[in-house]
Structure 1
Amino acid sequence: MKRSLTAGLLALLVGLQASTTLAKPADPHTWDYLQPDRDQVIASLNVVELLKRHHYNKPPLNDARAAKIFDSYIEMLDPSRSYFTAGDVAEFEAWRNQFDDFLKNGNLEPGFIIYKVHLERLQSRLQYALSLLEQGVDSFDFTLDEELLVDRENAARPENERELDDLWRKRVKDEVLRLKIAGKEPKAIEELLTKRYKNQLARLEQTRGEDVFQTYINAFAQSYDPHTQYLSPDNAENFDINMSLSLEGIGAVLQSDNEHVKVVRLVPAGPAEKSKQIAPADKIVGVGQSDEEIVDVIGWRLDEVVKLIRGPKGSVVRLEVIPASNAPNDQSSKVVAITREAVKLEEQAAKKSVLKLNQDGRDYKLGVIEIPAFYLDFKALRAGDKEYKSTTRDVKKLLTELEEENVDGVVIDLRNNGGGSLQEATELTGLFIDQGPTVLVRNSDGRVDVLADEQQGVFYKGPLAVLVNRLSASASEIFAGAMQDYHRALIVGGQTFGKGTVQTVQPLNHGELKLTLAKFYRVSGQSTQHQGVIPDISYPAEVDTKEIGESALPEAMPWDSIRAAVNPDMNPFKPFLAELKSRHEGRTHEDPDFVFTRDRLALTQELTHETTISLNEEKRRAQQERIEKRQLALENTLREAKGEEPLAKLEKEDETTPHVEDKKINPEADAYLSESGRILLDYLGLNKAMAKNQSVER
């Protein structure tokens, strides 16, 4: 959904510079070379104009927006409230309501001044941390009853240098303790942390004016919504670099998370997904090439980590990862080796299997079609290749094969499907409905475009369920939403991701701007934005929805609704939903996989609410032991219920652990898939019984 915008916007230049009255940093000479240039001024003015004319919301650039930009910028520079003092921020406050005027006038100086203060503070903190390590890690007393506040999102800022020193002393002490408990020797701990802080200092000295400009303009752009973003000239070639690494990399969607890089989702059929060694919400803390030493990347910028992870096809990258399954304060890591490769279209292709279930004393066969992504081979299509691959063509073929096997119904598995071709979402919907709208696209001018299935007839008329989870996004949500709105399928699983906005990339004189210019709506008029698709029958979440999903992103645009495009006939599922839910809950209340998922997430959320950690070694070890015992108990309860040998201790996978790729999945062993099939069979049985009763009454 890209749109060409007015080329004339790129010629804008306003020469006026608003005056700045705030004092310069106390010792600014180190960073004097960081100054905005003419190209950046022009680019900033172009961004202002593009957002004013073409952003979906078109919010005014006024004092209220200025305050949002100010807060966003401070948050970007100091998310843990560990660099700026309360006095620093109080001084910056003089500019709080002026950023609208600064941006309209092309005045970038305030943004540069604040960034340079940030560099001063960061340099000072790293030097202080190194001075502590010079005294030796044995100088820390781990018998004291001290605590560190780790959740500092709403913490009071340090009032002065003394309070900053105390905070950073505890931070360094915590890092030493984490490594000590992980089994590292004092000398190795000292070397690792010294190298980490020295590397960060060296990187500070390489700061460019472009780094400052990109951060500042993104504080402005992302105050509109999280997907509106400025890309510097270096990053423009890596479109959406903070969201995708699919080309000759590891095939993972990454984002910055304070000082770490976090995995958001895995690209279907990508190297990371096939390795089975990485999962969403894992944190990457180190990157190495093949047999080379792993480089510590804590505190690095996302784009710099990306450069290390990417490389030639066939080469090996080694990642040091803190698994999301760890307790929140457990920083123990594992090293995984992944061979880089481009994702092949045929590996993302839809696949079928047959799920065999016995219900109420009768054997059933259900077709399962797994769709990893909504794909379309544009190159083959343009070349006139009649055998070009697409999701819809492949699913149509699979449905034919399943019907030849006399299946009793079909489950479409969209778990972890992050989307893809909008055209394919529309055409796939058309296989299951008889003409009609499939999705609505509302543009920034208020015009609503209706995408529709124009083909007459329904290709597959049989019973249908659609299985989704939190990582089902975009095109997946459009298809699942249409199936729900047309009452064509039962939707089961987890609440979907909630990305219901459309972006375009607009070239600037200097870099590019990705901006949100439209919003998706279901045929019922409901947006897929923020809320996603709510299943008819919900399964326990496998990931924390506060960590993963559109609603977890700052400034995410809200859910809303517009006029419906269709008013389908009475919902055939509605009379049975209460009974279907009751039967589902009865089956899964003691089901080991469902119990494990519920209990594991509950434990993670419980631990996440712990905002402080002890710096007393004895207490810390005891706490970690308690957590590991609970995790082990959950794991062993699951293993014993499946007839497997219990573990003596939690296993930590590493790169030496063998992994089987392309293993044929037994659909009956997938608890969520089997339960989806049983729900569909429940519906068929209830519907048949109702029809029989109605026939008798007549």
Structure 2
Amino acid sequence: MTIAENSMQRPSLTSLTRKAGAVTALALGLLVSGAYAKIDDSARYEPVAPTIDQARANILIARQLQFTHFRNLGISDELSGDVFDAYLNYLDSQRIYLTQEDIDALSRVKKHLGSALKTGQLQPGFDIYNLVQQRVIERLKFALGLIDNGIEQLDFTADDRIRVDRSEAPWEANQAALDELWTKRIKNAVLAQRLNGADDDAIEETLRRRYEGQLKRAYQARSEDAFQAYMNAFTGMWDPHTSYFSPRTSENFNINMSLSLEGIGAVLQSDNEYTKVVRLVPGGPASKQGQLQPADRIVSVAQGDEKPVNVIGWRLDEVVDLIRGPRNSTVTLEVIPANASDETITRTIAIKRDEVKLEEQSASKDVIELDRNGETYRIGVINIPTFYADFQAMQAGDPNYKSTTRDVRKLIEELKASGVDGVVMDLRNNGGGALHEANDLVGLFIDEGPTVQIRNANNDVQVLEDEDPSVVYDGPLVVLVNRMSASASEIFAGAIQDYGRGLVVGSQTFGKGTVQAVRPLNHGQLKITQSKFYRVSGGSTQHKGVIPDIEIPSRIDKTRIGEDALDHALPWDQIEAVPHARYFDFTGVIDELRNRHEERFATNPEFKLLQKEIEFLNRQRQMDYVSLNVDERKNQHNQIEQTRLTIANARRELKGEEPFEDLEALEDWQDQQAADLDNTDEELDFVIQEGGHIMADLLELDQRMASILMPTQFAAKTEAP
């Protein structure tokens, strides 16, 4: 059946969406005639309108979501309300453009959006988008007006404050209240830059450039911008990994998947008006440089020594184009760090562009020696940045093609030949990759058996198995994970844990336990979740991830990074376990292992420093408001900076380096580090050392681990891991 035929068979739905469009138009008529209708007419916003291709793509997306997505979710009035809220959250997440008056008027179409989206009637969504763009323009002009009046006119003596995160704040009642809010926003930005040493002329130039850039982007809004925003609010109802790619975004997605262009090696996504770092590509320039972090938001981009270009409000594809460039050239990013207390705090990071090479993502090994009670333990460490495979070389029949499993097999043989007492597998920050490599890697450590279960929307379950009875390594094993360990990493860690083949150490993993497929549309592509991963013990890796046997705290904010931090994430559940071997029962030694670990960390200066950093970061994250009184803000700023200096000096002392005399010395050193484009810290960190100590504890507590007992089949339990 064609799209046109299907549309003609649903006249009632079409008439309903016409009604929705009429209500939206009425709402817009009421709103635009308000107090801010009289604005500078030197430039005009041209409302965007949907195209026929977009309407057809919308119908295809609605069908795919209803009939092929893993989550069985119908398009109902309730869903309409959720789409409405998500769409407004996408367009105005901090509630700084729209008023409660706007929301009340727009709410008249709230329950009609679902029916409209079924049949490609996009006008209601476009009307909302156009209104928000008009409000954005009004707000930016208001901000520029304040700056033109002179920031010296602003009062910083009053006992005033501003809310840091407004995502759950009530909408301001009217435009007068928004004026007051935006005055506070300007004051906050000015105060933050003054405290960082900028003079008023430089501050005015920075803010004017920022808001003029955003204003220019608002006037350049395109139909595709509205369509992509609206479709992603819609698709996000099913789960956060289902999304629409416009034709241009599809091109960038395909380029990223093939890693064929040179850049910085970072996966980016739109985060309302910002571009956010999702993850770093292992072996890429940003990963090696070490300063850019997941959840950082990009404010500006500079080429070489040129002036930075503010990219707030830019489309993702345009930011990507700006960051890309020829090999060995330098791009400088101004970012709001993930742990910043508010959006006025930024840092500058210079990265030398390069090609992301497969060999730089390869597994590598090291050996650490631990002297304990007069005995020396040699521990092999294998770092796996990603699960990779050179598919082209494989298809070409190259007998020496690279893959995670082949490389790790070789590294294990080398470690065994060197006489190591145990192996630590480091999967921290490993975001996944090739599924079959995770399956094959488990096979290096077990005789044979299932490794992961995959269930589709029809409840059909496929079991991936290691069919090779040979075992490459049968000695004691520790697997290190953290919050950035995801997908294939979680499959491997979960299987090792379920088989009792080794201990998992670190922090709770990401919880990415779903599988997506990219499907072509007549206009762009749809990335849709089609199945879900389950461990051999029956529990899903989705949402919950893998819980370590021994936990090590992390600086990463779990409330902002991880599957359970995402809206509409698919829940954890379980299915039947599949029979699998159990190599070792750790229940007899796990309490003693944890006690030894805690005693060791209680006196470990690096762990104490980590705890101090985490406490400091948590205090920053928990700040709901910042003061706009200059004296109070200075005190707060000085306390934060002094804590930074104390932590930095403590770390230098641990390394045997001279402490910084003052904050200026610390900042000079940080500038030097940022300028050192090839700076990497290859030092083995204390978490790896602790993994080695846990291994030594295992060997001391149970000599059976030196030569693993042969596995015995058992009836696996079906409770959560």
Scaled to the shorter chain, the TM-score interval is: over 0.9
Q: What are the within-5 Å matches in structure 2 for residues 93-104 of structure 1?
A: 93-104=107-118
Q: Percent identity, aligned pairs only?
A: 49
* Residue of structure 1 equivalent to 2:526: 513
Structure 1 unaligned runs (5+)?
A: 1-7, 693-698
Aligned to 1:603, what secondary structure does the other structure show? helix
Q: Deviation at 1:681?
A: 1.1
Offset from partner CA, 1:316-346 (integer Å, 9 cap, x none): 2121234446x51484544332222221111
Given the alignment of the two structures, is residue 231 of structure 1 paired with residue 248 of structure 2, yes or no? Answer: no
Aligned to 2:341, which of 303, 328, 342?
Answer: 328
Q: What are the within-5 Å matches in structure 2 for residues 6-155 of structure 1?
A: 14=7, 17=14, 18=17, 19-20=19-20, 21-22=23-24, 23=26, 24-25=28-29, 26-27=31-32, 31=45, 33-155=47-169
Aligned to 1:238, what secondary structure does the other structure show? helix
Aligned to 2:698, which of 668, 683, 694?
Answer: 683
Separation (CA, whole Å) in 2 of partners of 1:510 and 1:691: 59
Q: Deviation at 1:624?
A: 0.7
- Counterpart amino acid of 2:229? T
Aligned to 2:7, what secondary structure does the other structure show? coil
Number of equivalenced pairs: 682
Aligned to 1:407, which of 400, 420, 429?
Answer: 420
Q: Deviation at 1:598?
A: 1.7
- Counterpart amino acid of 2:444? L
Give the conservation status (yes or no) of the 8 Å contact 2:448–2:467: yes
* Residue of structure 2 equivalent to 1:297: 311
Separation (CA, whole Å) in 1 of partners of 2:256 and 2:462: 29
Aligned to 2:698, what secondary structure does the other structure show? helix
Aligned to 1:97, what secondary structure does the other structure show? helix
Aligned to 1:355, what secondary structure does the other structure show? strand
* Residue of structure 1 equivalent to 2:280: 266
Give the conservation status (yes or no) of the 8 Å contact 2:511–2:562: yes
Structure 2 unaligned runs (5+)?
A: 38-43, 708-721
**Aligned pair in 2 of structure 1 residues 226, 298: CA closer, same or farther (>3 Å)?**
same
Q: What are the within-5 Å matches in structure 2 for residues 392-431 of structure 1?
A: 392-431=405-444
- Counterpart amino acid of 1:551? D
Separation (CA, whole Å) in 2 of partners of 1:691 and 1:336: 46
Give the conservation status (yes or no) of the 8 Å contact 1:9–1:46: no
Aligned to 1:584, which of 597, 600, 605?
Answer: 597
Given the alignment of the two structures, is residue 603 of structure 1 paired with residue 622 of structure 2, yes or no? Answer: no
Separation (CA, whole Å) in 1 of partners of 2:704 and 2:463: 39
Separation (CA, whole Å) in 1 of partners of 2:679 and 2:549: 32
Q: What are the within-5 Å matches in structure 2 for residues 149-188 of structure 1?
A: 149-188=163-202
Separation (CA, whole Å) in 2 of partners of 1:178 and 1:374: 42
Give the conservation status (yes or no) of the 8 Å contact 2:454–2:463: yes
* Residue of structure 2 equivalent to 1:4: none
**Aligned pair in 2 of structure 1 residues 33, 121: CA closer, same or farther (>3 Å)?**
closer
Higher mean C-alpha displacement, 189-198 vs 369-378: 189-198
Give the conservation status (yes or no) of the 8 Å contact 1:178–1:330: no
Q: Deviation at 1:662?
A: 8.4
**Aligned pair in 2 of structure 1 residues 229, 461: CA closer, same or farther (>3 Å)?**
same
* Residue of structure 2 equivalent to 1:441: 454
Give the conservation status (yes or no) of the 8 Å contact 1:254–1:264: yes
Q: Deviation at 1:661?
A: 4.5
Give the conservation status (yes or no) of the 8 Å contact 1:225–1:557: yes
Q: Deviation at 1:631?
A: 2.5
Offset from partner CA, 1:110-164 (integer Å, 9 cap, x none): 1011111101111110111111111111111111211111221221111111101
Separation (CA, whole Å) in 2 of partners of 1:126 and 1:444: 46
Give the conservation status (yes or no) of the 8 Å contact 1:250–1:338: yes
Separation (CA, whole Å) in 2 of partners of 1:93 and 1:655: 53
Give the conservation status (yes or no) of the 8 Å contact 2:289–2:679: no
- Counterpart amino acid of 1:154? E
* Residue of structure 2 equivalent to 1:631: 644
* Residue of structure 2 equivalent to 1:695: none
Q: Deviation at 1:299?
A: 3.2
Q: Deviation at 1:232?
A: 0.7
Separation (CA, whole Å) in 2 of partners of 1:86 and 1:518: 40
- Counterpart amino acid of 2:450? P
* Residue of structure 2 equivalent to 1:358: 371
Separation (CA, whole Å) in 2 of partners of 1:242 and 1:113: 33
Separation (CA, whole Å) in 2 of partners of 1:44 and 1:409: 55
Aligned to 1:620, which of 625, 628, 633?
Answer: 633
Aligned to 1:96, what secondary structure does the other structure show? helix
* Residue of structure 2 equivalent to 1:382: 395
Separation (CA, whole Å) in 1 of partners of 2:259 and 2:299: 17
Q: What are the within-5 Å matches in structure 2 for residues 214-229 of structure 1?
A: 214-229=228-243
Q: Deviation at 1:359?
A: 1.7
Aligned to 2:335, what secondary structure does the other structure show? strand
Separation (CA, whole Å) in 2 of partners of 1:577 and 1:126: 59
* Residue of structure 2 equivalent to 1:654: 671
* Residue of structure 2 equivalent to 1:696: none
Give the conservation status (yes or no) of the 8 Å contact 2:540–2:574: yes
Separation (CA, whole Å) in 1 of partners of 2:260 and 2:679: 19
- Counterpart amino acid of 2:164? V
- Counterpart amino acid of 2:443? G
- Counterpart amino acid of 2:390? D
Offset from partner CA, 1:355-399 (integer Å, 9 cap, x none): 100122201101111111111010011001101111111111111
Q: Deviation at 1:286?
A: 1.2
Aligned to 1:520, what secondary structure does the other structure show? strand
**Aligned pair in 2 of structure 1 residues 324, 159: CA closer, same or farther (>3 Å)?**
closer
Q: Deviation at 1:486?
A: 0.5
Separation (CA, whole Å) in 2 of partners of 1:382 and 1:244: 16
* Cα RMSD (Å): 2.4
* Residue of structure 2 equivalent to 1:489: 502
Aligned to 1:527, what secondary structure does the other structure show? coil
**Aligned pair in 2 of structure 1 residues 612, 663: CA closer, same or farther (>3 Å)?**
closer
Give the conservation status (yes or no) of the 8 Å contact 2:645–2:662: yes
Give the conservation status (yes or no) of the 8 Å contact 2:296–2:335: yes
Offset from partner CA, 1:224-255 (integer Å, 9 cap, x none): 11110011111111128999988422111233
* Residue of structure 1 equivalent to 2:512: 499
Give the conservation status (yes or no) of the 8 Å contact 1:350–1:372: yes
* Residue of structure 2 equivalent to 1:545: 558
**Aligned pair in 2 of structure 1 residues 246, 528: CA closer, same or farther (>3 Å)?**
farther
Q: What are the within-5 Å matches in structure 2 for residues 249-288 of structure 1?
A: 249-288=263-302
Give the conservation status (yes or no) of the 8 Å contact 1:10–1:509: no
Give the conservation status (yes or no) of the 8 Å contact 1:287–1:319: yes
**Aligned pair in 2 of structure 1 residues 592, 323: CA closer, same or farther (>3 Å)?**
farther
Aligned to 2:252, what secondary structure does the other structure show? coil
Separation (CA, whole Å) in 2 of partners of 1:102 and 1:655: 56
Separation (CA, whole Å) in 2 of partners of 1:242 and 1:224: 24
**Aligned pair in 2 of structure 1 residues 662, 85: CA closer, same or farther (>3 Å)?**
closer
Q: Deviation at 1:95?
A: 2.0
Give the conservation status (yes or no) of the 8 Å contact 1:222–1:555: yes
Offset from partner CA, 1:637-694 (integer Å, 9 cap, x none): 3433444322223423236755484869454xx21001101111111111139999xx
